[in-house]
Structure formats: structure tokens, C-alpha cells
């Protein structure tokens, strides 16, 4: 971040960055707690995740309002303008991550205490771990002004897609072998899809960080695993 002659301008930009940091930390904690609530069938923890989503919504509105005021007051140009507009986009993606994680938590109370076996749950845990790593890395790239780290996150998006496809096949097998598992397996399918979509939003943030730092878009099509045959509608 460049230093400005007007110290208050740097303070205002710092406040904007601070809100983004708070949003990122909250989104990370919600993801961890939602998956932990799923594994432990902890309904109380799941409900706390749902309630915390309101904090993310509030912070997103604050980021947008702060950014609009900055643009009106300071008439920023070049990197400053990219930083402010990027903050609006990043806040939107973090808010969407919160919504997707909330959807995971909302399924915990309606699922049976008896799950389909630790193999599927381990796959969901692993996917959540990958997505959490994406979120952490992309937030680090933002705080460190590191375009290459953002590009690294962008390049590895396909790993989560591949795992989601594997879980899809596994859960379909459960349903075909035991029709009594259909309800629980369907919940887990949507949980996996929501986590995968959270990873997509982390990749969106990577694209924004790269643009903020370089003024250029990442070249080429975003690396994705072939998921055409395993598409589920996300609950955005």
C-alpha cells in the first residue's frame, strides 16, 4: 500500500482493510465451526454459525458505505481506486462464503444422528480443510500485497472440484446400495456442494487481489475439474 501525504487518507484505507480482515476471520471461523458441528452433530454450535452470518452481512454493508464515502471524498485514481473497488468485491465474496457456510450449518439439526460412515464425513472434512486453506492464503495475499500468492490460489481451484466429484460418486453409491440412506446422503451432497462453492468465492477473491496489485486480469480460463456430470444446484 502506498503512503499518502494526507495521513487521514491512509487511516481511512486502513479502516477499510480492517473490516475486510474481520470479515475474513469471521468467515474462516464459521467454516471451521460448521464442519465441526456436522461431525459432532452439535446443534448448538450449528445454530451459532447461522446467527453469526448477520455479523458478516453488517460488515459487508459497512465496507460498501465506507468505500463509497472514500471515493466521494478522495476521488482516488489508479491503485487506490482498484484497492477500494476491490474491497467492495472481496466483501461481497466473503459475505457469500458466509451464506454458503450458513447453509451447511442449517442442515445439521435436520440430519439424523446416525451418519453414513466416517469415510464420507472425512471427505467433507478434507474438502473444508482445502477451502479453509484457500481462504487463509488469499487473505494473506491481500494483506501482503502478494499477487503471486493470489495466482497460486487461483491455479489450484481444481483440487476442490475433484474431491467434490469423488464425494458425489461415493454418496450416489450409498444411495443405490441402501435406499434408507437417501435423505442423509442428499444432505451431505448439498453440504459438499456448498463447501465447493465457498472455494469458488475464495478463487474470486484471488482474481480481485491479483487485479488490485497488477492492474491486470489473470490470463486464461480458471483451472477447473470436469464436474459437468456431477452438477448440483447450489443454495446461494
The pTM assigned to this predicted structure is 0.88
Q: State yes or no: pLDDT of 4 exceeds 60.
A: no
**Taking Cα atoms as reference points, which of 46, 44, 52, 164 lies closest to residue 97?**
52
The residues, ordered by sequence, that sit 6+ positions from 2 with a Cβ below 8 Å of its Cβ are 79, 80
Angle (CA) 223-225-229 rounded to 5° is 140
Band (75; pLDDT cuts 50, 70, 90): confident
* pLDDT score recorded for residue 231: 54
Query: Which CATH topology does 7-230 take?
Result: Methane Monooxygenase Hydroxylase; Chain G, domain 1 (1.20.58)
73-76 long-range contacts, CB within 8 A, separation 24+: 73/12, 74/9, 74/12
Q: How far is CA 116 from CA 162, 163, 207, in A?
A: 21, 18, 37
CA 217 to chain centre: 20
Instruction: List pLDDT tens digits, range 84-124.
Output: 999 999 999 999 999 999 999 999 998 876 655 557 888 99
Q: State yes or no: pLDDT of 232 exceeds 70.
A: no
Q: The C-alpha cell of 195 is what?
A: 463447501
Instruction: List pLDDT tens digits, range 131-140.
Output: 999 999 999 9
Return d(Cα 150, Cα 100) in angstroms, integer.
22
Return d(Cα 140, Cα 133) in angstroms, integer.
10
H or E stretch including 37? helix 7-40
Return d(Cα 23, Cα 55) in angstroms, integer.
8
Amino acid at each position: 500500500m502506498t503512503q499518502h501525504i494526507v495521513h487521514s487518507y491512509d487511516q481511512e484505507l486502513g479502516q477499510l482493510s480492517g473490516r475486510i480482515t474481520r470479515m475474513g476471520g469471521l468467515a474462516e471461523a464459521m467454516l471451521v465451526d460448521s464442519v465441526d458441528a456436522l461431525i459432532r452433530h452439535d446443534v448448538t454450535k450449528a445454530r451459532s454459525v447461522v446467527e453469526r452470518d448477520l455479523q458478516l452481512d453488517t460488515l459487508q454493508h459497512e465496507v460498501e458505505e465506507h468505500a463509497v464515502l472514500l471515493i466521494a471524498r478522495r476521488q482516488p485514481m489508479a491503485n487506490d481506486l482498484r484497492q477500494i473497488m476491490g474491497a467492495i468485491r472481496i466483501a461481497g465474496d466473503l459475505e457469500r462464503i458466509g451464506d454458503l457456510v450458513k447453509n451447511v450449518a442449517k442442515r445439521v439439526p435436520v440430519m439424523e444422528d446416525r451418519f453414513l460412515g466416517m469415510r464420507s464425513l472425512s471427505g467433507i472434512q478434507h474438502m473444508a480443510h482445502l477451502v479453509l486453506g484457500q481462504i487463509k492464503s488469499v487473505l494473506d495475499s491481500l494483506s501482503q500485497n502478494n499477487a503471486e500468492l493470489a495466482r497460486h490460489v487461483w491455479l489450484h481451484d481444481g483440487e476442490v472440484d475433484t474431491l467434490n466429484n469423488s464425494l458425489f460418486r461415493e454418496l450416489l453409491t450409498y444411495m443405490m446400495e441402501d435406499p434408507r440412506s437417501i435423505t442423509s446422503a442428499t444432505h451431505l451432497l448439498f453440504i459438499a456442494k456448498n463447501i465447493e462453492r465457498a472455494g469458488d468465492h475464495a478463487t474470486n477473491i484471488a482474481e480481485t487481489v491479483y487485479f488490485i496489485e497488477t492492474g491486470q486480469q489473470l490470463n486464461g480460463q480458471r483451472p477447473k475439474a470436469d464436474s459437468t456430470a456431477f452438477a448440483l444446484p447450489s443454495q446461494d
